[in-house]
Structure 1
Amino acid sequence: MRIAYLHAGSIPSVYANGIHVMRMCDAFTAAGHDVTLYTLPGTHRADDPYTYYGVRHRFRIRRIPLPDADPASLRARAARVRALLVAETPDLAYGRDPYAVLAAADVAPVVYESHHVWDDRDALATESRLFAHPALRRVVVITHALAGDLQTAHAGTGLLPLRVAPDCADVPAAHGASPAPELPGRTGVPRVGYVGHLYEGRGIDLILELAAVLPGFDFHLVGGTPGDRAHWEAPCRLPNVHFHGHRPPGAVHAYVSAFDVVLAPYQQRVYTAGRSAETGRWASPMKVFEYMAHGRAMIASDLPVLREVLHDRVNCLLRPPDDTRAWADAVNELVTDGTLRRQLGRQARSEVLDRYTWRRRADDVLAGVFTGWGEAPPTAGRTPTPKPKPTASEAG
């Protein structure tokens, strides 16, 4: 099946949405589909976006720029995407860009994926029009909490064709072996790790408090833009805290493997870049699944949305997001109790292999999309159209 993936963000970038999109396009390609990603031009320099993201397949990438961020420009870009789709005739348009997915609905059946409820009235109105369009086959959301809130936000549209599909991870071997990083710090000291952005609500202040009360452990924070890193690192005087800054998504696996205990200290309110959205109520953090895929013992915030996947003393330890003492006790317990640490890690990895791989997600979000519409999935009896190799302008 020819799939057009419609992305409103940039590739490559330092943002998590780019990782998610590239992983999904990789998984769709692994499933045998012919994938073209329509995206904004990159905001981060990378010679090869496929290597940067650590994906295995070189699906085609088309970059369609956006003049500015006002709604008229979003619709103008969507119209340009639609014109390309008319010429390239995909069997399905899939994406997280409501403007482009709505424009594509006049060209092909569409599947829309949502990771939050918009607080922008124009985007909400665009979603409502999309949800009423006869070409819409499915709305994919990452948590049950989001499914309920999205249905409420669009109650006037009727019952949405929702499918809950949490974020995922691949086992490290899927991306090949990465060289072990040379980590600063003391020899023989337990390493407590965090991987992800340093935005507000990610619990970075809690990690620094832990480092202060646990001077016998080294704490490593991997990720963050230069500005966000400077915000936390400049005033930090703790010798057992090490900031590593942004690393290519394809190279992060090696860092996670180097940690004894990993942290996911999300707070009640979690913000994206520049406080552009608050997503704590609906989050399905990729970081959590990546920790699990590595078989690392994890301590995570005890939040309702995380309990959709995480279970205390089964695949992690859950602790209140604002209780530093409880987190310190949990770190001590995992470091001193090797049996528990290994047990939690094994169970977490097993769950990823069974339920939360990108390949499984790709199959799940497409399963039955064409059923009941008087047509079969456009796969059998079709010879795939040869796809040219990405040019430098398309892939670089």
Structure 2
Amino acid sequence: MILNLTARESTVTPEDGEEIYDLIQLHRLLNESKWQFFRLFLGGKRRRCLAIVTDHSVPQRYFFVKLLCLLARSRERAIVDWQGRSMPVDWGSFIAKDIPEFIGDAVLSVWVLWRSLLRVAWYLRAKPTRPTIDGTNKKFYYFRTGVFYGLKAGGSVGHITGVAKNVIACGYDLTAFAIEKLTFLMEAGVPVRGIPAGRAFRNFLVIRMFDFHLRFAAALKKIAKREGPPAMAYQRLSLNDVSGVEFTRKFKIPFILEYNGSEVWSSRNWGETKLALTGVSLKMEEVNFRHAHLIVVVSDPLLDELVGRGVDAGKILVNPNGVDVQIYSPERFTREELLETRRELGLAEDAVVAGFIGTFSPWHGVEVLAQAIPLVHRRVPELRFLQIGDGPLLHGVKRTLRDAGAEQTSVFTGLVPQMHGPRLLACCDFFLSPHVPNPDGSRFFGSPTKLFEYMALGKGIVASDLEQIGQVLEHEKTALMVTPGDVDELADAIVRLANDKDLRDELGRNARAEALEKYTWEKHVQRILERLEERVGTR
């Protein structure tokens, strides 16, 4: 038995007849019937039970993983990470080490939760500060406070990098702070300082968040007291976090909050597990909204959500995502470089290739795309699809194509470093953005970074006519727009672009011109700084 507890495909080759269960399958089974879930492990004897995790070198939530492995009637039990490192699981070490740690964390979690609740209650009553920008101070702090490690690719990476680099381009001395030194930022020339979380509460995710954010704020205050505070601070809002509020109130400086949607909502609608203490999480969001001097959102639905939650519309800036038009440029790679990339991928030099990049998550519409590909294949059998990325739905996408006899149509790269994405996309002939509506009927609030990257590369696009996507792109001018979730319409549009190079070229030229005019990260950051100065002024 293999338990794939990551968002990627299994890195372990199954033996003949061996079952593989991914996160989605395990959570679904647990939610449907806890008895059936445990019967899965208590059932017949197996040779081995392997749990696949991300990385042994960072703190992990292993208590429950080990318990499941021990419940399985297997001769070999181990936890294996992506690098192939194996950690044996046995009852002796579990009783001697893991159970005492679990009990200790459970006891101490009461103290951490109590401290966090007191902070929230106080900040909900406290009046917001009214700072101004110190025009002589060029220090700028950027906070990325998520408690997860190993972020390397995806829309958030592009967003974080784009904002940080262009704050520096505007003359500020920016330093980013995170739970680890973010490699993608350092590669982009952005100074990064890591504030580690340690190993406490690794079996209690929500408490771990509370504890880390208490530590994060304390560490920041020590650094600023020793080195001098920044002129302002910018935070990408994370779940269960008020550290940005605490820090900026301490030094009476402006606080810019980036809000990309409620993680409580995301866990309820896109996650397979239910978050604990969601009431506290929502109150922490309210604390951030109350004390931020400028809230940056990427779409109108997020503006409407915040106004509906009582936030003053005057301090909200709707600022769509953007793109680095030098990195995502049709002129960046030579023809020979792109042909070599195709050869490495096993794509014919003269093939027409449709490209998709993403984390294979529910909102990306990859399941709809997987249903459309066999329809396209019957009409344009020579068309190939380059699907870049990894995620929870990738296994299902491959299964759909295999069942339809269309698996030969697609090349899957898996997760690639952010810096490799532009070259892979550039060797495609047109791009796909088949996003789908939110499952609960609420408005789609995303501003997909892939959309602007596609536009900047100057090639045709097939995209869902969904909220901001339909506002940024214009049907027949910069893209072919389709009804979200409509498999037949998506297939028709793909076939049309595959067969019409002139249309692909025309749409691509128009899309790049639009990206250059409106959607660069430089303009994105300038809008933020200008709006903040309007809000608080400069002294």
Q: TM-score range by the shorter chain?
A: 0.7 to 0.9
Matched, 1:33 2:199: no
Aligned with residue 303 of structure 1, among 462, 466, 471: 466
Aligned to 1:388: none
Are the aligned partners of 1:118 and 1:124 in contact in 2 as well (CA < 8 Å)?
A: no
Q: Tell me, which stretches of 5 or more residues in structure 1 are unaligned? A: 272-277, 377-396
Q: Secondary structure at the match of 2:142?
A: strand
Q: Secondary structure at the match of 2:245?
A: helix
Aligned with residue 206 of structure 1, among 363, 368, 373: 368
Structure 1 pair 324–174 and aligned structure 2 pair: CA distance change class (3 A):
closer
Structure 1 pair 11–37 and aligned structure 2 pair: CA distance change class (3 A):
farther
Cα distance between partner residues in 1 of 2:318 and 2:493: 31
Q: Report the structure number with the largest CA radius of gyration.
A: 2
Cα distance between partner residues in 2 of 1:285 and 1:352: 13
Structure 1 pair 15–173 and aligned structure 2 pair: CA distance change class (3 A):
closer
Amino acid at match of 2:410: V
Aligned with residue 19 of structure 1, among 158, 177, 181: 158
For residues 2-151 of structure 1, the aligned pairs below 5 Å read 2-9=139-146, 10=149, 12-41=151-180, 49-51=185-187, 55=188, 58-66=189-197, 67-68=200-201, 69-70=206-207, 72-76=210-214, 77-88=216-227, 89-97=229-237, 98-106=241-249, 107=251, 108-119=253-264, 120-133=278-291, 136-151=292-307
Alpha-carbon shift at residue 270 of structure 1 (Å): 7.5
Structure 1 pair 373–325 and aligned structure 2 pair: CA distance change class (3 A):
closer
For residues 169-188 of structure 1, the aligned pairs below 5 Å read 169-173=323-327, 177=332, 179-180=337-338, 181=341, 182-188=344-350
Structure of higher RCO (CA pairs closer than 8 Å, 6+ residues apart): 1
1:54-91, Cα deviation, whole Å (9 max, x unpaired): x3xx2210111235542531441333333333333100
Aligned to 2:318: 164
Cα distance between partner residues in 2 of 1:3 and 1:165: 20
Cα distance between partner residues in 1 of 2:498 and 2:473: 20
Structure 1 pair 158–323 and aligned structure 2 pair: CA distance change class (3 A):
closer
Are the aligned partners of 2:374 and 2:401 in contact in 1 as well (CA < 8 Å)?
A: no
Cα distance between partner residues in 1 of 2:176 and 2:399: 39
Q: Secondary structure at the match of 2:444?
A: coil
Amino acid at match of 2:365: G
Aligned residues: 357
Q: Secondary structure at the match of 2:408?
A: coil
Cα distance between partner residues in 2 of 1:234 and 1:326: 22
Cα distance between partner residues in 1 of 2:481 and 2:533: 40
Alpha-carbon shift at residue 267 of structure 1 (Å): 1.0
Structure 1 pair 300–123 and aligned structure 2 pair: CA distance change class (3 A):
same
Q: Secondary structure at the match of 1:140?
A: strand
For residues 207-226 of structure 1, the aligned pairs below 5 Å read 207-215=369-377, 216=381, 217-225=383-391
Identity of aligned residues (%): 23
Aligned to 2:37: none
Alpha-carbon shift at residue 118 of structure 1 (Å): 4.5
Structure 1 pair 5–205 and aligned structure 2 pair: CA distance change class (3 A):
same
Are the aligned partners of 2:139 and 2:174 in contact in 1 as well (CA < 8 Å)?
A: yes
Aligned to 1:387: none
Alpha-carbon shift at residue 11 of structure 1 (Å): 6.3
Aligned with residue 424 of structure 2, among 255, 259, 266: 255
Cα distance between partner residues in 2 of 1:113 and 1:357: 17
Structure 1 pair 373–231 and aligned structure 2 pair: CA distance change class (3 A):
closer
Are the aligned partners of 1:299 and 1:316 in contact in 2 as well (CA < 8 Å)?
A: yes
Cα distance between partner residues in 2 of 1:306 and 1:99: 31
For residues 276-355 of structure 1, the aligned pairs below 5 Å read 281-355=444-518
Q: Secondary structure at the match of 2:372?
A: helix
Matched, 1:232 2:397: yes
Alpha-carbon shift at residue 162 of structure 1 (Å): 0.7
Structure 1 pair 235–371 and aligned structure 2 pair: CA distance change class (3 A):
closer
Normalising to structure 2: TM-score of the pair?
0.61
Alpha-carbon shift at residue 314 of structure 1 (Å): 2.0
Normalising to structure 1: TM-score of the pair?
0.82
Structure 1 pair 219–347 and aligned structure 2 pair: CA distance change class (3 A):
same
Amino acid at match of 1:344: L
Structure 1 pair 345–279 and aligned structure 2 pair: CA distance change class (3 A):
farther
Structure 1 pair 279–146 and aligned structure 2 pair: CA distance change class (3 A):
same
